[in-house]
Amino acid sequence: MPIYEYECDSCRKRLEKFQRFFDVPVTECPHCQGKMHRVISVGAVIYKGTGFYITDTRKEKEIENIGKPDKETAEKFPQFSGLDK
């Protein structure tokens, strides 16, 4: 069951409530009887395991070349590759 967060428009107090999707939303503040609205927030994302970082799936040689242009790009744009020096 999801947890919904509500905030009172009058006293700005917040509350969390376990509710099913089809339950009636909270409309009245239990503290001051003011009008409440549902607060939309971003859920937490936790990346665990391998494959999420740039160094996880690359070989040591590829890691050394991160940010450096490949040979074809370096020949096409020598002003950005350091070959013109």
Phi, psi of 18 (to 5 degrees): -75, 120
Cα–Cα dist 56/32, whole Å: 53
Lowest mean per-residue pLDDT among 10-14, 23-27, 73-77:
73-77
| Domain extent listing, the chain | 3-39, 53-85
Is the pTM here over 0.75, yes or no?
no
pLDDT at 76: 79
Compare 71 and 3 and report the one with higher pLDDT: 3
Mind listing the pLDDT tens digit for each residue in 35-53? 999 998 877 777 776 666 6
Cα–Cα dist 18/15, whole Å: 10
Q: What percent of the chain has pLDDT over 70?
A: 71
Is 13 in a helix, a strand, or coil?
coil
69 near 77, Cβ under 8 Å? yes
